Structure 1
């Protein structure tokens, strides 16, 4: 029994370490994607219902018939006023932005008046955690890592 418990503790520890390194993908807007929202608060609500950690990634994906851009606002004031500045990214391809610093990050669509129409959101990037948010899409890297962990546990603890 103690051998099984040791194996489980080892797996939990190794899994925790890999979660910290790997991060997860968040598709901005969920299944709706990065498109003109149905309400002014759609993206703010989406962001509020997700948890973002350092090394997680934001995937901006627009419909084939809608091409949008996004930019990171420099401050909350610029975000609130939909100030378009800095580097602008096009979502005609799937674009992934890695969260590489803690604290609030502000994103807006820079096309026309889209930001004022609700195409903006704020994420609060937190320190790494061992908890994987349920609403996030796990990356394809996670499956081989879990296989490796299981293999190692079987080699060393069985």
Structure 2
């Protein structure tokens, strides 16, 4: 086997191994993307941001505000509280990481002044983690078998 073919084969194998490992990693979502958790110019900015993403159990939300702005994070318990911008009793400040720990709908809003009414709020539907479900029904033995097969194939070519 030529060196070029061997290098290509090794690249493909490592690509697939990387893909397999990546499947088990939770995703960190920076709220608002590069704009961050700051007062938006349009009232649908954060709702639009959230609607373009899929959230799973164990993913994390990262809230970052500009250093010259202070925006808290409130978590209303109901759609009515969210729609009415009713401030909940639980607040977080500055850079915060919130883990999405169970499948359900969650609401987030700024509790400073009228920020919420100006659109500084969003809701997410957290889906069950398909990677966790696969592991429960016996995917790990198949994964280990696949990795062992790939490693054995590599040994044959070296």
TM-score (norm 2): 0.71
C-alpha separation in 1, matches of 2:20 and 2:97? 26
1:44 CA displacement: 0.3
RMSD: 2.6
Say if 2:45 is the partner of 1:42: yes
In structure 2, the residue corresponding to 1:58 is in which secondary structure?
A: strand
Larger helix fraction of residues? 2
Check 1:71–1:152 CA distance in 2 against 1; reply closer, same or farther (3 A cut). farther
In structure 2, the residue corresponding to 1:117 is in which secondary structure?
A: coil
Residue ranges of structure 2 left out of the alignment (5+ in a row): 1-8, 132-146
C-alpha separation in 1, matches of 2:97 and 2:149? 33
Say if 2:85 is the partner of 1:82: yes
Residue ranges of structure 1 left out of the alignment (5+ in a row): 131-150
Aligned to 1:71: 74
- Specify the structure having the higher radius of gyration (Cα): 2
Check 1:153–1:108 CA distance in 2 against 1; reply closer, same or farther (3 A cut). farther
TM-score (norm 1): 0.71
Contact 1:11 1:153 in 2 (8 A): no
C-alpha separation in 2, matches of 1:90 and 1:78? 20
- Higher relative contact order (Cα pairs below 8 Å, separated by 6+ residues): 1
Aligned residues: 127
